[in-house]
Amino acid sequence: MTMLSMIQQAAQRIGIVSPNAVVSSSDPQIMQLLTLLNQEGESLSERYAWQVLRKESTFTGVAADDQGAMSTLAGTDFKYLVTDTFWNRTLRRPVYGCITPQDWQTLKASPQTGPYQQFILRGGHMWMIPNPTALQTLAFEYVSTNFVLASDGTTGKDSFTADDDTCLLDEKIMTIGLIWRWKQVKGLEYAEDFRLYEQRVLDAMGRDKGPTSIKMTGQPTVRLPGTVVPYGNWPI
């Protein structure tokens, strides 16, 4: 579903003329819908670490506190780190953090800082202590700001700017979100639309990472080595 089709669907449901184009439109209501759709995308993308917005970054460490700008280590679409995903792959050890400024200054003033590395984000840069040895491989996951995909299918964008842009987030949720936001700014009743929207978002959050089996017995979920005999009847 493109940006144009989402706005067309929303327009039909709220009872205004469905546009043939959005970006080139001079209709104030259509331009308002575009603004609200971008607002919905920003809000929904910030609400949860959606798997479709998560990316992995690997970089080569340098023998210094300052490892570089996050826009270089990850990308210009960096929004925030996913908790507990930072590892030194060369040492096969986790890198702990993000620590507080108070903890960072305590470590800097301490004679010993090891053996595990820790990090802090400051001034848009990543700082590590103790310093990694040069050429060590480090990796983490982060959430991207780009919830929009251009028509080429590869270019990420942080807002809708073309009618044929598509959305990486759930388009049905985006459309429902657009509808309640439009009703809100118009001073109309939107409680039921908002209730439906919230339910859809919570359901999507619950399904986003995939199902996980819960073992009430506490037994391991891995299959242990052994002889496997298939189910069935066997002649004597």
Give the integer Cα–Cα distance in Å for 129 and 65. 6
Instruction: Render each residue's pLDDT in the chain as its tens digit; 236 residues.
Output: 999 999 999 999 999 999 999 999 999 999 999 999 999 999 999 999 999 999 999 999 999 999 999 999 999 999 999 999 999 999 999 999 999 999 999 999 988 777 899 999 999 999 999 999 999 999 999 999 999 999 999 999 999 999 999 999 999 999 999 999 999 999 999 999 999 999 999 999 999 977 666 666 666 566 666 666 666 555 65
Phi then psi dihedrals of residue 57, to 5 deg? -125, 135
pTM: 0.84
Residues 6 or more apart whose CB falls under 8 angstroms from that of 63 comprise 131, 132, 133, 134
Beta bridge partners of 66: 127
Taking only Cα atoms into account, the Rg of the chain, rounded to an integer number of angstroms, comes to: 24
The CA distance from 70 to 132, in Å, is: 17
